Chains A and B, each alone.
Chain A
Amino acid sequence: MKNGKARGRPSASDRGGIRKRGAAKKVDREGDLVMDGNTTQARAKRGRGDSVRSGASSGTRSQTSTRAIDAIQKAISSNSESQQANIRQGGRASNLEQVRVNNWKGSKAKSNPDGGQESLIAFLEKKLSPPDARASARARITKVFITSVVLSDVLSFSVMSRLEGDAIIVSIKPELLNRMLQLNGFNFAGKILEIEKYDEAGIDQSMLPVNGSTPTAADTKAKMTAFLAKRFNRENKLLDLSDLRNDPDLIAMGIFQSTSTESKFFPALMKVWELNLSLVFDSPAARRQAVESVSLRANKLENLKMVTTLAQAFPDLKNLDLSHNDFKDAQSLLAWRHKFENLELLDLSNTPFSADPTFKDTMLKWYLKLRVLNGIEVRTAEELAALKKSPIPVQAPYFRDEGCIAENFIRAFFSGYDNDRNGLLDSVYDNESTFTLNINTAAPRAQQADVAAWDAYIKNSRNLLRITHLTARMSRSHNGAEKIRKLWNSLPATRHPDIAAHPQDWLIECYPIPGLVDPTGQSPTGVGGLLITVHGKYDEIGKGSKIDTRSFDRTFVLGPGGGAGGVRVINDILCCRAYGGNEAWAPETEGAAQPAAQQATPQQSIDQAAVPPQPVVGPPATPEGYGMPAPGKSETQVQQEQLVIQVMSQTGMTLQYSELAISGNGWDLDKALQDFAKLKEQGTLPPEAFLAGTV
């Protein structure tokens, strides 16, 4: 216990320990590491109640407060959202037993997006169930959380490494406990599991003095909850934490009697806040939006050590009042430099730092969305709009169809894929068609939602970066309609959003490509095809009607053929990933931010939804076969025709005018478009230069 004291509990004069934790970005995690270091063994070896700290009962009031706060921290320091649910439902109170599962990391299932967590749970459930159990009677593991990982912090790129070395705590019905403990030493996908009983409540109470007159964790927690309720204005989304030292409730709790208690108070308060919030708001999004403004006014703050956890509790804060504090310089605020990315209003008035000549520039640099600083507008709406522009502007889709072939194909394809895969295969796939799929487990997700396991896909995922053996590569390439049929019938049922009703969910682009092999052999120069790229989402309908939303990217090469609509699918590559929303392809429409040349280009494509209800070029404006290779047509001619098509789609001009524009500029597309922009601005282009309905 001496160790525990030294590591977890700095003395009043020693702020070094605090500094160390505060300076690290992830206080929760850091804190946990420290705590895990001294509790992992304790948890295993110590029963409840037999480890009352020596000397605890003789502690002063502030020490016991510290302890109570510590206990809260500990109880909730493994604060993933699901664990909060666990606490809320009372873990033990609802008669569930908790079991700690260790050494599951690095199993063969580790390449799953969740590091194999779901596979592990599925494995345990299966082992806990009698062999003859029907699905409905199978064992359920009701709550799962991973210790020392703040789920909201798990970014897609780093998920593996951050989960390293962690245990999973599962709650199960008491009657399953023995069977569960017998699984200790079982082999899970190459790892020998370590399973032991986990007594959360025991740890909780062992940290507390037995003396009834001192505050308990629950007591302190209740007081903090009451304090937060008093200070939170739900309507204005404001959490007012100003002038804490003069708050009678906090004074009564003895919070500011020692630096030790004081330094623990704020992190504990943030934990209590998060806990309570999860009781009120179900979705992570609603939780994040619950508070837009926080005031830390008049707290005699010289730096952020004490309050740094605010940034974890409120990452999306818009307004922050730090006025009437003692921040001297930028250094004293450094911990929040990369926090609060959405901060619009910051008040540091009546702090020494705000008199610094570099003050304004520094804050503008740190907070890119900052609009008002110390009550003064520092960025205009235009400046903000200009900043919002990404280095590569997102633009409207390019859709160059031939006689609605691609449009009809896409509409038929996704409804066929959802409802009748066999029929779809019969209509547009043949023995030369190839289908492959791969899973992008690193793709970002829209919310911090858990991603459902990829079990149904992963054994067929053909990511050439991972699948390096030739035979595996070959076996994961599905050539010919029959092999594709076999695979498709094994993949989960899907539901894609209706293209007409939900155009915003889709990004579909289409490009004519020349030079495909003519299956009839009649055209030695090859025939034209279409390359179609589709980005969107779908609902996957799993077992027990469980629905998971995922995003996908799909690339097709279509050639002329005997299938429905006169096409056949030559290539079909599908990439599935975690649901990432549809913001990416919402065009950046701020005209002011667009360079002049682009601004003058196709108005219609900027306004257009991300789908092909109307192809960019309206009614058949080119003769049939224009821009496509054909017997007797030279390669140069095909290229020139395609350039003319480009000009048409970008300018909305007729074929004749487009041809004039590009040929007059030496077949240089950029020059032609610049020329067009100039002429259009001067108003010298006659109305008949434009295709009907494009101006």
Chain B
Amino acid sequence: MSAFTEIAQQFVQFYYQTFDADRSSLAGLYRDHSMLTFETSSIQGVSSIVEKLTSLPFQKVVHKVNTLDAQPSSQDGSILVMVTGALLVDEEQNPMNYTQSFNLIPENGSYYVQNDIFRLIYNA
């Protein structure tokens, strides 16, 4: 019952490390019915999601997580994760601030991302 906070934390750490290093490697986190909402475009399916992520208009990116919270969202063990943070892309000096919500679903002892909703909240 309590493990979900650990899972959320590990997930978030893994997600951003992978995102910042090589975002095409995020494929393993999604399934064919997963949905990524990046700003207003919504993309479904592993290959489309990875295509979207890799085609984002920047090369270098660094995420800095400011807050992280998680709640169990159903008795079957799925987890709602909410992150706020900032990201620096390419040579930009000013961080862009964002919130991101994940809906994690358990599967064979592991988790995958059902929903991934990214939104900029302050374009500093």
Contacts and interface: CB of A to CB of B under 8 A. Distances in A.
B29 interface: no
B33 A464 contact: no
- Interface residue range, chain B: 35 or more
A577 B71 contact: no
B44 A465 contact: no
A522 to B, nearest CB: 15
B66 to A, nearest CB: 4
Interface stretch (A376-384, A411-419, A510-518, A680-688): A510-518
A437 B115 CA distance: 21
Contact of A470 (B2, B35, B71): B2
B101 interface: yes
A535 to B, nearest CB: 5
- Interface residue range, chain A: 35 or more
A24 interface: no
A396 B39 CA distance: 8
A513 B102 CA distance: 12
A396 B69 contact: no
A444 B67 contact: no
A555 B32 CA distance: 24
B120 A392 contact: yes
Contacts of A585: 120-121
Contacts of A509: 117, 119
A393 interface: yes
Contacts of A249: none
Interface in A457-499: 462-465, 470, 473-474, 477
B123 A533 contact: no
Contacts of A577: 84
B103 A395 contact: no
Nearest to B87: A392
Contact of B42 (A398, A436, A463): A398
B26 interface: no
A420 interface: no
Contacts of B103: 513, 531, 557
Contacts of B58: 391-392
Contacts, number: 165
B69 A391 contact: no
A394 B120 contact: yes
Interface string B80-94: 101010100110110
B92 A575 contact: no
A436 B71 contact: yes
Contact of A517 (B70, B75, B80, B99): B75
Contact of B121 (A515, A517, A580): A580
Contacts of B124: 444
B117 A511 contact: yes
A523 interface: no
Given A443-B97, A575-B82, A635-B33, A669 B48 contact: yes
B40 interface: yes
A531 B101 contact: yes
A133 interface: no
A463 B35 CA distance: 26
A205 interface: no
Contact of B115 (A531, A570, A580): A531
Contact of B68 (A464, A513, A517, A535): A464
A268 interface: no
A442 interface: yes
Contacts of B62: none
Most A CB within 10 A of own CB, among B52, B80, B93? B80
Contacts of B97: 443-444, 580, 584
Given A391-B92, A444-B97, A581-B122, A464 B84 contact: no
B25 interface: no
A656 B121 CA distance: 35
Contact of B99 (A391, A535, A571, A643): A535
Contacts of B99: 533, 535, 553, 555, 575
B54 interface: no
A462 B121 CA distance: 20
Contacts of B17: none
A278 B84 CA distance: 35
Given A571-B71, A584-B123, A442 B114 contact: no
Nearest to A635: B33
Contact of A555 (B39, B74, B95, B101): B101
B74 A439 contact: no
A370 to B, nearest CB: 16
Given A465-B65, A584-B120, A669-B48, A440 B84 contact: yes
Contacts of A463: 66-69
Contact of A583 (B76, B78, B95, B122): B122
A51 interface: no
Nearest to A441: B66
A670 B89 contact: no
B24 interface: no
Interface string A348-390: 0000000000000000000000000000000000000000001
A306 interface: no
A531 B74 CA distance: 13
Nearest to A516: B74
Interface string B38-55: 011111100010011000
Contacts of B90: 391
A464 B2 contact: no
Given A391-B89, A584-B123, A573 B37 contact: no
B44 A555 contact: no
A580 B73 CA distance: 29
A397 B121 CA distance: 11
A398 B120 CA distance: 13
A38 interface: no
A156 to B, nearest CB: 9
A397 to B, nearest CB: 7
Given A533-B101, A584-B97, A669 B44 contact: yes
A639 interface: yes
B42 A393 contact: no
9 contacts: A395-B39, A434-B72, A462-B69, A473-B2, A474-B2, A509-B117, A513-B115, A580-B97, A581-B122
Interface of B: 2, 5, 8-9, 32-33, 35, 37, 39-44, 48, 51-52, 56-58, 65-76, 78, 80, 82, 84, 86, 89-90, 92-93, 95-97, 99, 101, 103, 105, 114-115, 117, 119-124
Given A553-B121, A584-B121, 11 more contacts: A157-B86, A391-B90, A397-B40, A463-B67, A464-B9, A464-B70, A517-B76, A555-B99, A573-B71, A575-B69, A670-B51
Lowest 6 CB-CB distances: which A-B pairs, in order?
A395-B40, A517-B74, A584-B122, A463-B67, A442-B66, A573-B82
